[in-house]
Structure 1
Amino acid sequence: MLNATLGLAGIARETIRTGLERTRGRGRLPRRAEELTTEWLRSALGQGADMIRGFRVLDADSGTAARVRIAIDGEAGTTARTLFVKLAPRDFSQHVLLNLFGLGVREVLAYRALGDRPPVRVPRCHFGGIDAAERGSVLILEDLSGAARFRTVRESLDETEAFAVVDALAGLHSTYWESARFDTDLAPLARRTTAEIRLGNLIRRAFLRDIKGHTADLIPAHIKKQCRMFYERDDEIDAFWAAQPHTLTHGDPHLGNLFFVGAEPGLLDWQIARAGAGIRDVAYFACASVEPELLRRTERELVGRYADGLAAGGVAVDPDRLWTGYRAATTELFLAAVCTAEAGDRMQPLAVSRVGVERAVAAVEAHDGFDLLSSLL
């Protein structure tokens, strides 16, 4: 009860603070597309008037962040180059959530951590700015339109594509495995604030105590009961995963956050990046992105492929222990998929969230995920 009260108090404080922020004049960073200016773009990109004569907004949308595609006009006679800008979301409740969980700031930190030679394919980051006073952030990224293939959550990867993604995750994870940087420049990605923890528990309790949204019919009664452990035993679950070797994880590697350039996969949307157990990324990706029948035939091989990839990067792991971690981590997708579905179409279109829940239920049932996780605590 105390945690719930404190969580609500934190939401109230951030709601007021975000409301005041949105009514103020222009800040150090632009907050929305209308605040983008030629002068600011020149400063952010370190380019002069001859390189940036002006810009045009080509298209824009907003979800957990506002996304604006722009064309920059440079020297006379040159073709306009396009860039992708991420800003605070237009929707007020989404903006509050972004600030409460530090999602925008976390994504900028992730791109800084990945650097100029990232171990996994990502859009090139031209600028990442943080306004600590306003908890604001802005990213200017490579525009992948026309160069990359994008997939939707309702699709499924084939075996070759799934192996390629697991190889990419192994490359990412081995690079940052138990990195000393989590005590220095990456420290913000290795900790959660008290407010984040309390709010997360509040959300899990609200959504999982009585699942009745549009995907409730997809979830067997015994799993509806078992999943309450996410708020009843949240401290134990957090402690279990905290005790595993840590690396830089994407946190949300479902099919909608993947792209392919040729046969090479890449990862988008690093808002939930954090230090964590790498096998959680693998289980989340596989269970969300490969249709269940194919996954059941190939997932043991996928986990073995991941172990081999870690070994190639100098990280020795116990394959059997990794497999156990994979099975327990199937519960992570369930948590994300059901909470997203319970939030309604504010987070994902209903048809998309039904696919996510179907795949999540199939995974936890196939691996007795909740019973296994309970036995490991």
Structure 2
Amino acid sequence: MSAATAIPRYPSDVTGAWLAGILSRPGAPVEVETVEVTPVGTGQTGATFRIKATYATPADDLPASFILKLPAGDDAVRDRVTLGYRSECAFYQSVAEAVTIPIPQCFHVDIADEGASYALLLADQAPAVQGDQIAGCDLPEARLAVRALAGLHGPTWCDQRWQTFPGLVMTVIGEDAIRGLGDIAKMAAGITVEKLGERLNPEDAETLFAAMDLVTPWLLNAPERFALLHGDYRLDNLLFDGERVSVVDWQTLGVGLAGRDLAYFTGTSLEPGLRARAEKGLVAEYHRALIDTGVSDYDVETCWHDYLLGMIQVPLISALGCAFAVETERGDDMMAAMLRRGCAAIRDLGTLELITS
């Protein structure tokens, strides 16, 4: 690796020479005239920048702007999420070409020091707009999201190679590991209820505790069907542009029941009334898209059953995130909104009773 293409540590390291070194190919050199680097996003799990570039020679096949992801500037945050960095890099290195889910074009990925140093250069999706987790989404956006999700699950459906994929973060294997996660989930529920306080009403707190008590049997008795999971498939990780959606933030890859991703999206993104009216149709739309990828021997009734089981993903990921992530005002409001919607879905759908039966 030359000095020009070394992994940048700070925005000031992102120069025209660095970008040119990344974009140039044998026999097709690129000369970058200027770069402008500005921060975007919240920076909770990493540092994200928009790079605007001008080229010294015509470069019609290259965009005028990129998104660059680097590790978080805060050492404590960076140490906590290095597994996530490794997961995201592994996705773009080894998964992206195997799936059909819509994602930004990746121009460069590099990682070193066990994930403490990494750089991910993606095509800028502007003018696409990030979903608003607190506000929730409408039905057209939900349809786009569930159809897109099939492009991840279908191409990886029951393929054994993903069970041992090194980029997995949100997967535990073996009874001892599952019981350990169950214990952590119970602890996270207590921390979450204490953190959120009055943001979480007593009924939702009760549902959260009951759900986390069932994480161990939920995982131990899961159906044998599996696919590669995004793990955190929600509005904040989706970019909408009219009839198009792009999926980002691949830091929570897992393997498991595909209904977990699907239920997590609807359970966190739709207000309870809209979800109750629309979810049968959304599950059917997802199922049709899944079958279109080549999945067979999977009927819509079984898909609905997996969706009901998968709703535990909402309080599990929300509680883990709330308990162990950096605390912010917006973050707490977001977790409260996700738990309010998800706990209502669990009660409406009888998910806890399905698990105990």
What TM-score comes out, normalization by structure 1 length?
A: 0.79
Contact 1:32 1:66 survives alignment (8 Å) = no
The answer for the alignment partner of 2:305 in structure 1 is: 324
Residue 347 to residue 108, structure 1, CA distance change in 2 (3 Å): farther
1:30 maps to 2:11:
no
The answer for the alignment partner of 1:103 in structure 2 is: 84
Paired residue secondary structure (2:286): helix
Q: 2:33, 2:290 → 1: CA distance? A: 47
The answer for the alignment partner of 2:256 in structure 1 is: 276
Cα displacement (A) at 1:202: 6.6
Cα displacement (A) at 1:163: 2.1
Q: How does 1:145-160 map to 2 (within 5 A)?
A: 145-146=126-127, 148-160=128-140
1:246 maps to 2:223:
no
Contact 2:71 2:116 survives alignment (8 Å) = no
Match 1:142 to one of 114, 118, 123: 123
1:351 maps to 2:339:
no
The answer for the alignment partner of 1:41 in structure 2 is: 19
Q: 1:264, 1:296 → 2: CA distance? A: 25
The answer for the alignment partner of 1:314 in structure 2 is: 294
The answer for the alignment partner of 1:213 in structure 2 is: 195
Q: 2:34, 2:292 → 1: CA distance? A: 47
Residue 120 to residue 225, structure 1, CA distance change in 2 (3 Å): closer
Cα displacement (A) at 1:309: 2.0
Contact 2:208 2:343 survives alignment (8 Å) = no
Contact 2:257 2:310 survives alignment (8 Å) = no
Contact 1:30 1:36 survives alignment (8 Å) = yes
The answer for the alignment partner of 2:207 in structure 1 is: 223
Residue 93 to residue 51, structure 1, CA distance change in 2 (3 Å): same
Residue 145 to residue 279, structure 1, CA distance change in 2 (3 Å): same
Paired residue secondary structure (1:253): coil
Which residue type is aligned with residue 95 of structure 1? Answer: R
Q: 1:267, 1:67 → 2: CA distance? A: 16
Residue 300 to residue 125, structure 1, CA distance change in 2 (3 Å): same
Contact 1:123 1:268 survives alignment (8 Å) = yes
Q: 2:329, 2:258 → 1: CA distance? A: 25
The answer for the alignment partner of 1:299 in structure 2 is: 279
Paired residue secondary structure (1:325): helix
1:122 maps to 2:103:
yes
Cα displacement (A) at 1:279: 1.1
In the alignment of these two chains, the number of paired residues is 342
What TM-score comes out, normalization by structure 2 length?
A: 0.83
Q: 2:69, 2:194 → 1: CA distance? A: 33
The answer for the alignment partner of 1:85 in structure 2 is: 68
1:267 maps to 2:247:
yes
Residue 183 to residue 82, structure 1, CA distance change in 2 (3 Å): same
Match 1:170 to one of 150, 156, 170: 150
Which residue type is aligned with residue 210 of structure 2? Answer: Q
Contact 2:98 2:155 survives alignment (8 Å) = no
Cα displacement (A) at 1:169: 1.3
Residue 277 to residue 117, structure 1, CA distance change in 2 (3 Å): closer
Q: 1:91, 1:63 → 2: CA distance? A: 9
**CA deviation digits over 1:320-370, x for unaligned, max 9?**
232222112111111222343445634953332221121112111112323
Paired residue secondary structure (2:108): strand
Residue 354 to residue 214, structure 1, CA distance change in 2 (3 Å): same
Q: 1:240, 1:348 → 2: CA distance? A: 35
Residue 57 to residue 188, structure 1, CA distance change in 2 (3 Å): closer
Q: Flag structure 2 segments of 5+ consecutive residues without an equivalent.
A: none
Cα displacement (A) at 1:219: 4.1
Q: 2:117, 2:290 → 1: CA distance? A: 35
Q: 1:202, 1:347 → 2: CA distance? A: 27
Contact 1:106 1:272 survives alignment (8 Å) = yes
Q: 1:83, 1:261 → 2: CA distance? A: 17
Residue 340 to residue 166, structure 1, CA distance change in 2 (3 Å): same
Which residue type is aligned with residue 43 of structure 1? Answer: G
Cα displacement (A) at 1:302: 1.5
Contact 1:340 1:347 survives alignment (8 Å) = no
Q: Flag structure 1 segments of 5+ consecutive residues without an equivalent.
A: 1-26
Q: 2:354, 2:95 → 1: CA distance? A: 34
